[in-house]
Each structure stands twice: as structure tokens, then as C-alpha cells.
Structure 1
């Protein structure tokens, strides 16, 4: 029977029927009784698991409830049969009512940090807890007619049913968005929130919240009552020895004698039968011994599970305490959804358990598995993510328990450097300017030729944006370590994850970075990430930015020429250039970025999307191809990335999938074949996951890492060359919220920038990079860090003031 053919309110006009004796089954309470309260919500009385005295509709019923709490089930049933007055004032809820007719109502289910708690209609029936959407195109309509028979919990549930009293009672039955089999699940209540509880299925945790503490109590008791109804033998029964069974041959002997069989033949037949039975009995004994071993193993595993949970929770709390900060990231509108409760270890909503509404379905292909929590997440349920506390360094990464411990610590063992966690508070109030009014006369033109006011900029330059792509540089560290151990496949998988991770910071970033001046530079010495980075604008037309980075056992470099076009309602950005990672052992990987577009310039919310094919070429054994899927208007699962890793023969050895703004997973082999999706994707492993957002969000939607890029730490200004982006005045004014000064300085510098093309035509020479004629790319020539150490910047132009003539080629 479909669960929604049997739901109704508690009120029942029919007279109460006498209850049959309760079966002698293990129950959480002596008797399960539902009564009518003033709010018509369902209550279950007398739970042994919760020592609460429930408010009752009569004093006599309250005394009965208190007495039956301590009684065995049969004695309680007998007491009920002797008290008709109490029985007349209650609506009987037999055990069969819970399993057969069911219980239903609204509970709030935790989805993720973006959506928070969402209401769902839950139905408990036949040992299965199902839930349905009550909003959107997939919603169900709950009415008294279509939901006849079930007991409804909660005032809000009753109100929803009454609102649809005259609705369509013959709607199509909808498949539930999720089902939980209570027989194999564990139910736990929150110790910090008296309205919350969770259900753990062994692979996934469902976090639920009721409207009131009474509703939670009712649900908890109903769930536990149904769970305890499943027939199960006691340990003593399971471990009881098998009684010695004897076989009588008397009837066989009598029958054979009637047939005239000789005594010798009868004795031989008896001997054969006893021998066969003895063999059968020995086999049964062996099976019984195996059963004992399995039971003992299960008991041992359960003990280990509890110990492991306690150990992980204690260790997580210890690390958080050592860091001197809370691990919760509370935002005002998601304050109720905080999942880092130190006294509620079974309620942690970490990244491995976050879901979206789309994830509640059962999917069977790569695209729809992108956000599923059925992956092997390479970490425990209580994993501490990057930036999970205010005092963690930028090198913090997720813990992973399925790889070698020495690999797991790669990227995390660098010294801690304290950096800022928010931008300065703005001094002035920002003005509102229409973007469309600025660009309507420039459709089809090059973006680099259009001068926009500072209100459309973010306080970072394109040079600093290059370094932002290295936020997850620990992936290159891991790739280096895997290669040292001879695992080339894991090396290219981590490089692929790194190539995708650079796009994560672009989500929600709709402001334009500052266009660097010719000769402008940017340095980033980050010992907490084990690297140092340097970039320079080497050409004004076309606008080319070159960068070079040195890490532990690897180097990264590249240049980028960004071609852009306005198309009325969108901006298309096509990167031109090659990014390269070279390891000390000689292995090299190269790739180019995909197309980026910014939409809804006229109407609607601005958003960006990345699409196209990225090919990562290696000079050794493997290569990788990643496809960024273009987002459609009605796409429910945007930002998808899918890819494959191939060996030299073209054989697919691994499959990657994920979202460029969330995570990347991989599975070994080719899972694109028909019928392979579900089994293969359930074995997926996490390569990369996006860091959590900052505690103090900015209007620019900066990540925690981006907030640090323009920071002038103590003593840094004296070491920087005069060309560094941190010293650019209009950018610094914008960061401080001095918009008028920022606009004034931006106009002044753009006037100087117009002279840059003339200087380039006269023979401008980049100071720190030179063009490699063979590859047509810019390579770092060296000397910057040595000049920084000596403080010799005589050869650097004063690009924010006057340009020395001796910096021009003769």
C-alpha cells in the first residue's frame, strides 16, 4: 500500500474499540497510547527510553501513564483492560497502527549551508521512514481524504492538511525523495537542541528538526517503537547450544517388516539413515559455530565503531581547542543550521553529509552523482575542513583516512602565519551605478579599451588574481609526493583537481579586477603554503600577464592574454596562454583555461559560468581531458565538470567528475559504459573540496584566501618594489572604501596607461620576464628575490608616477 493512502488527523468520530492484548515484544514503553491534546497533535506515552511525564487529557490517564511506565508490556495491557474510563478518553494506538496505518507529519530536514532547513512531509509505515517535498514542482498535496488512516503529528501538519481540504484528491502518486529503513538505522536525539534528532543509516546521517520539543518526543518514541518491533532473538537464544536430536527408526522398521523385508536388510537401512543424518547434524553444528563467530564479530565491530566515534570527536575538539577558536562558521540567516556543536557530536553536519534537494533522488549517471553523499569522501564523518576555525592557517586541508598518512600531511606541515580575516570597513557609502548605462555604447568592443568607474572593480589586480589560482597549491605538493612514490596516475589526478580548483573562487565574483599598468608586479611570499610567487604585466597591447611560482619540488609558470567581447547581455572572456607545472623529476604538465562568460548584464542577477574542454598534456605516461559543461537556464545541477585520464595507448584508466565550485572526485577505470554508473560512482574518492567561506563576508564575495592577497603586513612595505600592486593608490583607496579618491586616482593612472602603448612601440622591455621565441611564452629570468633581499630596486620604474627613460630599449 502506498503510504499516502492512509493518512488522516487524530480526531476519530467512531467510538473507541477495546484494545486486544499487546504482543509480548520488546518495546520502548509499556504501552503506546495516543491521546487528543488541545492542539490535536499526536503524543505517545510511557517511554522507557525517555523518562518524561507527558501532559494528558485527564488526570486519571496521567496516573496510568506513570504506572505503566514501569510495568512489563503484558501487565500494562492488563491494567488498561481494568480501567474503562481511561480507555474511553484516549484514542487507542496499537502496535499494528504504527506499522500498518503509519504516522506522518512535517519535519524540517537539513539540506546544506546554502538552503538550510527545508520542510518535508515524513511518513512512517511498515518499518520505513519516507519523505516527500511539499514545495515546488515535485510537491505532494496532503489532504484528509487522500491521507486517510494515519496519525498526524504537529499543528503545522494539520494546518497544511486543512488548507488542501478542497484540493485535488486524485493527484498522481509521487515517489518519495528518500527512504530510511529503521531496522538497520540508529536514532539519536540532540543534546543541545530539544527540537532536533538524527537518523544514521550506516552510510548517511539525516538531520531532522521538529516544530516543538513535544513533537520531537512523539517522533522519537514512534520511531523507536517501530524499530523495536522487528523480531529479533536475544543473545542467549542466539548462543544457545543445539539440542541433541535423536532419530527413531521404529516406523521405518514396521513398514519394512510389513513388506516382508529381511531383518538384515532392515538393519542395513537403519544404519544408512543414521549415517546420513549424522552427516547432516555435523553440518548444522558447523553452521551454528559460524553464526556464533559472526555474532561475536558484529559485537566487536559495534564496540570499535563507538570507540572510533568517541576518539574522532575528542580529537576534533582537542584540535579546535588548541587553535583557540570555534569551528563553527555562523552566518545570520543560517544561524540555526550551525553544525559544530561541541556537546553534540552526533549532530555534526560536515561537508561529507551536506546535501542538496537534487541529491535526495536516486540517480544512475555521472551528472546526477555530483553532489551525492554516497561517495567515499576520503575522510571521516568529523573531518575538519580548511579554514574551519578563525585561527587556522591558509595551508589547512581536509583530513583523509584512505591514503598513506605521510601523503595526508602533505600541504599541512608548513609554519603558521597569521593573516587578516576581513577587509577594512569602508569609509564612504558606495554609490549605485548602472552597469548597462556604461556598456550599452560599447557592444562588440574589446573590454580592455573600456574605462569603467571604480565601482565596478574589486580591490585586486589581474596579477593578484593569477596567484589566487594557487589557493589549493597543496594539490601540487601531493602530486609531487605521489610521483616520488612511483604513482603517476595519482599525480595527474591531483594536477587535474588543481586545474579545476582555480575556478572555485570565481563563484559570485562579478566585479572586474584592476587592469595592471605596464611593468606592474606582484609578489607573494607564503611560507604557510610552502611557496613564493611573482607576476608582472609584460605587454600592454595585447594585454599579457606572466607569472612564476616555486614550491617544494615543483615550479609553476604561465602567461595569459585575455580576449574579451561584449554581446549585449553577456561578456565572453577567452583566455589565451599555457599554464605549466614542472616537477624536479622532469615530469611536465601543460594546459589552457576554458572560456568564461558573465551573464545578465541588463536584467536579472549577474553570474559567471565556465565552459569548454581543458586538455592536460603530460610528457610521461598519462594525459587528461576535462569538460566544463555550459550552464543552461533551467539547469538544476550547474557547474559540472567531467573528465577522463588516458594512458599512452588511449585506454581510460580513471574518470573524474564534480563541480568547479564544490569538489572533484575520481573513480578508477572507465565508468561511462552503460550500466556502470551506479556501482562505479558509489566507489568514488574525493580529490579536492572547496574551502569554507569567510566568517566576515565582503561585498566582493572574496574567499578567505583572496582577503589576504592585498594585505600589507608589518614590515612588508619596506621590502616591496615600487611596482607592486599593493602600492597602487586607486586599488588601496577602493579597499579602504574611499571611493571618490579611488575614482580620481584610477582616472589619473588610466591617463598614464594610454601612454603605455607608445612606450611599448618604442621598445618596452619587461624587467623580470623574457619571451621564449621557441615556445612563444614568457619565462622568468630570475633575480627578483635576490634584489628583494638586497633592497635594490633602482632598475624598477615608478609606474605610479614617472617612467624613467633608461628603461626603454635603445
Structure 2
């Protein structure tokens, strides 16, 4: 690396390292970090010792912009997702970094362009992925590109040497033409000879490098073939070891199962003879090892004896009757969805989100510790739907309840209800915008009776604390109701959102009544960094009719965890505590369930305290999978296909419906300044209405507001004071009679 203050034509080394001060946040300010510039990537670590195991961040300079603030400060950004505000110890050190970064960026851009243009250099240019995690062609081509770039660097240096060498020789020739004699003339001739020798040597070096590159390209195919042979051999060895490990595991489990069957009459009876051949699915079953975030149990493939047991009649039930009860209806059966015709074609796009900038810290710095519902927030932090519409999005995967309603076995029905409870969070993974706080008396209807067989109604029944009541009923045999109060606290670095309230699902045919609560949502990097959302906590789905229970655990994100992110695990148990199904998956992608064939509980003297319960299960089957986002969702607030239709204008809805809210409508249209003004007007109108109610009932200890479509009562299941739908809304819609609706907009 050159020590000059300004960039020089001579390219620096491939790697440049050093200490630089990096801006972290408003609390800690600038912190000293170890930065490494290598191969067009700028990475940083807290200490030099972390270089071997923990990288704190990396920016690709090929797409980055480098700007200078003042004598010591400079900024590196890759377009918005990552920005490093850096400060060098002095101006000289800052200039060294700027020189190295600019040269590395130019080189990275050149390499990227060459990579795009060299796709047909080799006949087998399509990469062949191996377990090693790479491509045989891409690695060799990368090496050849690196060599080629080095030769180009040397060629550039050679051109500079030739240029400056020629000028030097001309100057020396002019000096020699002065016919200097004595010692001065000898020195000039000596310098001229050395300059000529240096120029000849540099040209020879460039030619040798070009010969080396040509030789490397000639032998590249041989290197690729040898490399692939080594990889194939390694894969064969890994597969052999995996088969041996599975066989060892199966033998060990079979031995334990036999010992337990001899010791327990119940197990002996369960292991009675069955019809059919042994299943070969054991070799395809996955082995789930113990995870740090799910310490309650371990699942392993069931013993072969249980595959014999389920061949018949249990296999006939699971693979014959079960799909007819719990999977989508067969083609030869009557399907309500085939008979229902949509009333109209729903929209698939909304206006793109404008690029408005706002200083979040100037608003949030005085709000630490306060409840989010009491903070006056501009629409810049919102998404153009209300909390009532977000609550209606819980029905995104209503098909799970449709399938559950067809199940005759309550334990299988529990699996689908638990999957529905998890699916409600899949829409939040990219949704960092805050929904509009509903006005008191605001309603939202979601009528999908013709398309999907259900109707949903939400009403804001309380303002402080904010509470919304929700009621949905389906022609396919289920009812869903809930009253959710959102408690939220801003903690400086993150925002915690705690939904309070119970969700009820009731199935008409079986009369099974399920309840569960929501987990905590955490929004990270509120002040500095990219916002991201995590769900954590535990859910108990309880069937109050049979006593069945499903315990779900949402593992919080951990930087040091080896487990998959956003993981959810659960166990379905009957009223006696016996496990029947194990659930696993992620709240943002999919959920699977496995039937438990046998379980064993650990004692108190395990190596890590209390031992974990081991469940032997059949092969996992998929319960639920998230629908892909629409095209261009990143410019439409990451809305799902359902969310895009929620604020679409419809005829005949109540005048209090969220679709008619003017500030929300203005925001959706991209008119944010007008939306902010309208939002302030609506909030002041709501405050005035509350003051008027307080004057009318001065003796009342609290707000005497009564909801229009819901009535307050005690829940017979949980004993909570809640609002339950009292009827009348859909009848009023049919009549077009909205005289009782308040004027809130």
C-alpha cells in the first residue's frame, strides 16, 4: 500500500487492514473496529481475534458509493441497506483508506463486468453444485479471472514503466548530447544502461505472466476433472457414513423399544402383530438432533416395527380416510369452492410507496418507555391499512380451518388449528410499517362468502386501552372470534408489541372449542440499521371440549444459535398428557406434523440436568406453506395478495368502514402530506367526541362508550370480560340501513 496522501497509479496489495472508528448508534457513538479490505469486499470485526470466526458486516465495493465528509470522516454505502459512517485517526490515514477503497472498487467493477461477459468461456459453463457448496467451473474461472486481472495490472505497470522509461532515456540522451566528460558523463551512461536493462526486464516479466495465463487456461479442464473426482469421492464417503449412522441409530432404537416393550404391558400390547410388509421409509426419515432453542424434546425416526403396525388398518386410515377428511376435497367430491363464483375481480396492485425521508430519532427520542398508541406518529411510519384490517389478515389461511372442520379425530384437528395459529404471523416477516390506529367505532368487514365461504367483521370497541373485537363465521363449519388489546413499549433499540386477549375457534360438527393467545412481536433496529421483526414466546392451544392441548414454542432469534431462524416446535397431547403428534417448522415458511409412535421420558440424572423426552415419529407431512408474495411486493409495503384487496373500495359497506377513512386513503394514493393533515383532524375530532361523552356522563368513573355491533359480557370459557358479536350488521347491510352508525370520519 502506498503511503502517499493521494492515489497513485500503482495498484495496492490485495488486502488492506487497520483500525477505523465506526458509528454504531446515538448512545455509544463511534467505536473502534478492525476493518479488512480484501477481494473487493470491506468487512469489519470488533477485534482482530474475531477474524477467524465472527464477521460483523460486509459491503461489496462493486455496488458501493464512497463519499468524503471532512478531513477524517468518510461514508460507504451500498444503496440504502448498508451504510458505514467511518472516521480515521487523521487525514493522512483517511486518504490511505480512500485510495485503497477506490482502487479496490474499480477492480471489483471490472471483475464483475468481465464475469458477466465471460459466461461462454467454457462449454460447461452451467455450475454443478456439490455438497461442498460451490461450482467446479466457477472456482476455476474465478482463479483464471484473478490471474488475468493480475496480468492486466502488470501490463498497466509495464506501460507506465515504458512511458516514463522512454522519457527518462530521452532526458539522459539529451544530457549525453552535452558531451559531458569525466565523472558526470560516466554516471549518465551508467544510468542510461540501467534504465534500459530495467525496461527489458519488466517486458520479459509481462510476457512470462501472459505465458503462465495461457498455460493455466489450457490445463483448466484437467484441473476441473481432477477436482470433481475428489469431490465425488468425498460425497460417496459422506453417504456411506450417513447410512452407517442411520443403521446404528435404528439398531439402538430397536433395542430400546424391545426392552421397553418387555418391561411395559401397554407397550407390548401396542407392538402386536400387524399385516403388510415392513416399510422402507426409515432410510428417508430425517434425524432431528437436540437443539438449543427447543430443549423440551427430541424426535427420531420410529422403529421399523411401527411401520408394520401402521400398514393396516392404521395405514388405511392415515393414507386413505385421512386425506378425505383433512386434505383438500378429492376431485370427484363436491367442493364448495368449485361452486362459488367471485363477485368481482379483486385488484392485484396498489400505488407504489413514495420515497419520503424523515428523521425517526427526532420523533422517538422523547417517547422511550411510553405506549405506542399514545405517541403521535406521522403516516410516514404507517402502511395504508388499519389495525382492524391487519386483524382480518389472520384469515389469510382460512383453508386450514376448513380442513380442520372436516377432521373426525380431535387430535388431528388440533394439528390444523395449531398450524392456523402459526400462519397468522407469516404476513409480518417483511411488514415493518405500523398500521393505522382505528378510531373508536371504526369497523371493517371482509365478505368472502361467495369466494371462500366466510364473513368477517371487526369493530374498535375501546380507545384507551385500544381494543378491537373480531367475529368471523364460515359456511364450512367453523366460527372464529377474538378481542385483542395491543400493549406496546418503545425500549430505545427495539419495540415490543404484546397482544393481549384470547382467540376462540369453534367447530360446528364436533362442537370442539379451541382457545389460544398470541406471542410477543419485537421490531429491532428502531433507530439505527435495517428494521427486522421477530416473534417469540409460547402458545398453548387448548381444546376445552376434549382436554387436548398443543404447546407451541416460538424460538427467539439468536446470533449464536446453530438452529434455523424463526423456528416453531410443538407437541399435541391428549388430556392424559400422552403425545400424539409433533409439529415443526418456521412461522414464516411452513409447518409439518409427524405422528408419534412411541415416547420415552428422561430421568433426573442426565448429562445436562433433566434429560429430554425422545419421540419416535413417522415421516413428517406438510400442514401449511406460506403463499408467495405478489410481483413487486417490495414497492407495495410487502403486502400479500389478500392484503392488497383489503382497502379496495366496495359498495354497501358501513360508513364507519376502514375503507372510507380519508387519511388512510390519501396515504395509499401517495399524498402523504395531505394524509398527515387529515390524520390530525380525525384525531382531534375523536378527542372532542370523547370530551363530549365525559360531559354527558360526568358521574361515570370511566368512558361510557358502548360498541354498536358487539356487546360486553363475561366469556363462559375463560371468564374474561370481552365483547361478543350480537348480530345485526349483515342484516343492516342488506337493508342499507346505517342510521345508527356514528359520524367518525
Give the TM bin, normalised by the shorter chain: 0.5 to 0.7
The answer on 1:709 being equivalent to 2:646 is yes
The answer on 1:769 being equivalent to 2:710 is yes
From 563, 566, 576, the equivalent of 1:639 is: 566
Aligned to 1:539: 462
Deviations 1:662-687 (A, max 9, x none): 11111112778689999957711111
Aligned to 1:795: 740
The answer on 1:722 being equivalent to 2:655 is yes
The answer on 1:554 being equivalent to 2:495 is no
Q: Distance in 2 between matches of 1:663 and 1:152?
A: 33
Q: Distance in 1 between matches of 2:599 and 2:687?
A: 54
Q: 1:747 to 1:678 in 2, by over 3 A?
A: same
CA contact (8 A) 1:446 1:566 kept: yes
Q: 1:152 to 1:572 in 2, by over 3 A?
A: closer
Q: Distance in 2 between matches of 1:684 and 1:132?
A: 26
Q: Distance in 2 between matches of 1:780 and 1:618?
A: 22
Q: 1:735 to 1:635 in 2, by over 3 A?
A: farther
* SS of 2:734 mapped into structure 1: helix
Q: 1:751 to 1:671 in 2, by over 3 A?
A: farther
Q: Distance in 1 between matches of 2:669 and 2:138?
A: 56
Q: How does 1:203-218 map to 2 (within 5 A)?
A: none
Q: 1:759 to 1:630 in 2, by over 3 A?
A: farther
Q: 1:119 deviation in Å? A: 11
CA contact (8 A) 2:127 2:137 kept: no
Aligned to 1:629: 555
CA contact (8 A) 1:599 1:607 kept: yes
Aligned to 1:750: 683
Q: Distance in 2 between matches of 1:151 and 1:627?
A: 43
Q: 1:650 deviation in Å? A: 1.1
Q: 1:560 to 1:152 in 2, by over 3 A?
A: closer
Q: How does 1:353-364 map to 2 (within 5 A)?
A: 364=289
Q: 1:781 deviation in Å? A: 0.3
Q: 1:474 to 1:412 in 2, by over 3 A?
A: farther
Q: Distance in 1 between matches of 2:137 and 2:585?
A: 42
* SS of 1:593 mapped into structure 2: coil
Q: 1:131 deviation in Å? A: 2.0
* SS of 1:638 mapped into structure 2: coil
* SS of 2:633 mapped into structure 1: coil
Q: Distance in 2 between matches of 1:401 and 1:612?
A: 36
CA contact (8 A) 1:524 1:533 kept: yes
Q: Distance in 1 between matches of 2:138 and 2:371?
A: 63
Between 1:429-438 and 1:533-542, the stretch displaced more is: 429-438
Q: 1:155 deviation in Å? A: 2.7
From 482, 500, 507, the equivalent of 1:583 is: 507
CA contact (8 A) 1:626 1:642 kept: yes
Aligned to 2:625: 689
Aligned to 2:730: 785
Q: How does 1:173-212 map to 2 (within 5 A)?
A: none
Q: 1:453 to 1:494 in 2, by over 3 A?
A: same
* SS of 1:694 mapped into structure 2: coil
Q: 1:131 to 1:572 in 2, by over 3 A?
A: same
Q: 1:698 to 1:736 in 2, by over 3 A?
A: farther
TM-score by length of 1: 0.50
Q: Distance in 1 between matches of 2:401 and 2:290?
A: 29
CA contact (8 A) 1:366 1:681 kept: no
Q: 1:368 to 1:619 in 2, by over 3 A?
A: closer
* SS of 1:625 mapped into structure 2: strand
Deviations 1:59-113 (A, max 9, x none): xxxxxxxxxxxxxxxxxxxxxxxxxxxxxxxxxxxxxxxxxxxxxxxxx9xxxxx
Q: 1:632 deviation in Å? A: 1.9
The answer on 1:488 being equivalent to 2:410 is yes
Q: 1:673 to 1:649 in 2, by over 3 A?
A: closer
CA contact (8 A) 1:540 1:760 kept: no
Aligned to 2:3: none
Aligned to 1:508: 430
Q: Distance in 2 between matches of 1:731 and 1:488?
A: 42
Aligned to 1:608: 533
Q: Distance in 1 between matches of 2:301 and 2:393?
A: 28
From 126, 141, 150, the equivalent of 1:155 is: 141
Q: Distance in 1 between matches of 2:688 and 2:126?
A: 61
Q: 1:629 deviation in Å? A: 1.2
Q: 1:156 deviation in Å? A: 2.9
Q: 1:120 to 1:547 in 2, by over 3 A?
A: same
The answer on 1:571 being equivalent to 2:516 is no
Q: Distance in 1 between matches of 2:456 and 2:535?
A: 25
CA contact (8 A) 1:538 1:766 kept: yes
CA contact (8 A) 1:366 1:677 kept: no
Q: 1:623 deviation in Å? A: 1.0
Aligned to 1:519: 441
* SS of 1:755 mapped into structure 2: helix
Q: How does 1:415-454 map to 2 (within 5 A)?
A: 415=340, 417=342, 418-425=345-352, 429-454=354-379
Q: Distance in 1 between matches of 2:128 and 2:678?
A: 58
From 392, 404, 408, the equivalent of 2:323 is: 404
Aligned length: 450
Q: 1:153 deviation in Å? A: 8.3
CA contact (8 A) 1:518 1:540 kept: yes
Q: Distance in 2 between matches of 1:662 and 1:673?
A: 30
CA contact (8 A) 1:663 1:687 kept: yes
Q: Distance in 1 between matches of 2:575 and 2:591?
A: 24
Deviations 1:377-427 (A, max 9, x none): xxxxxxxxxxxxxxxxxxxxxxx999525643258825353311111246x
CA contact (8 A) 1:539 1:760 kept: no
Structure 1, unmatched stretches of 5+, are 1-107, 109-117, 123-128, 135-149, 165-210, 231-293, 295-300, 302-360, 377-399, 801-810
CA contact (8 A) 2:656 2:744 kept: yes
Q: How does 1:332-411 map to 2 (within 5 A)?
A: 364-365=289-290, 403-405=322-324, 407-410=326-329
Q: 1:757 deviation in Å? A: 3.9
Q: Distance in 2 between matches of 1:455 and 1:159?
A: 46
Q: 1:367 deviation in Å? A: 7.5
CA contact (8 A) 2:600 2:615 kept: no
TM-score by length of 2: 0.54
Q: Distance in 2 between matches of 1:784 and 1:737?
A: 32
More helix by proportion, 1 or 2?
Answer: 2
* SS of 1:413 mapped into structure 2: helix
Deviations 1:683-732 (A, max 9, x none): 111111111111121441111211111112xxx23x01110000000001
The answer on 1:655 being equivalent to 2:641 is no
